[in-house]
Structure 1
């Protein structure tokens, strides 16, 4: 997995946990840790949003090239 993919995945998970806490308990963990709409909080929200958009690119990628290579070999026989 590329480094950017891992960073994006971590940010998406942070965002998902934060939204889960907001939805279930009305508790915004990011705002509690870094202040309500402080500059740093806004940067975190922006990075999570960008990571979410980047995560769309993961749908179009092939993550297991060995699987396709083995599949192609079976079809040739």
Structure 2
């Protein structure tokens, strides 16, 4: 009984993997990863797209003016409450 050569073992292993279903599955897996990587790169924190999204969000949340009482007015209004609380 002869021992198969390393070359023949490798050839058999490669031939077993070269079926259409295996190749299609591997191509699909790799393409999906490429798409995920491309999306990640396009939306990376310092990418132009990410900067545009950040600017759009900041613009949407911009508050042009707040009508807040001054600190003095707030302190004077709350003074009786603070005194009653023993502060």
TM-score scaled to structure 1, two decimals? 0.36
Q: Which has the larger radius of gyration?
A: 2
The structure with the largest helix share of the pair is: 1
